[in-house]
Amino acid sequence: MQAQSGTSDTTTITVRPSTLADAIDDLAGSSVRIPQARVVGVFNPQVLVVDAATLRHTLGEKRRLAVLVEKRQLTVSPTLVVGSTVTVVGVARTLLGVQVTREVPWPREITPDLVKRLEIRAAIVATSVRTADGIELTQPVGSGG
């Protein structure tokens, strides 16, 4: 893990998706930057699931993250972004924490059974989803595209 100073007084921690999933109890509430996150599913323009781009997993070893985009939405088609590597910036949350805080609505599509089947371990309330070369893939909700 590597800490970076942002433009405000908060510190953004750069961490891999699998590391965040493993250490969510310690990192929950922290501002995080998740590079090399591979998009494995898009449920709607504000909800996607990512895992580590560089690892191949076997059943029971996945450490996926639910990305809940706050006040923004994806501007690209799910078929274009699934399988791509992105960088996500936001606040790390436990699955319980994100549902309790209600910073963003918990998506109906992500049921407890789906969390278990997809092996989602943590969540990020995201303010940005970018390509590896820095192109923002979201825009404010209600903006024209």
For residues 70-87, give the mean pLDDT. 94
Say which CATH superfamily domain 2-140 falls into: Nucleic acid-binding proteins (2.40.50.140)
Model confidence band, residue 142 (pLDDT cutoffs 50, 70, 90): confident
CA-based nearest residue to 33, from 91, 95, 98, 101: 91
Nearest CA to 115 out of 36, 21, 15 is that of 21
Tokens 């501007």, residue located: 75
Q: Global pTM?
A: 0.87
Q: How confident is the model at residue 47 (pLDDT cuts 50, 70, 90)?
A: very high
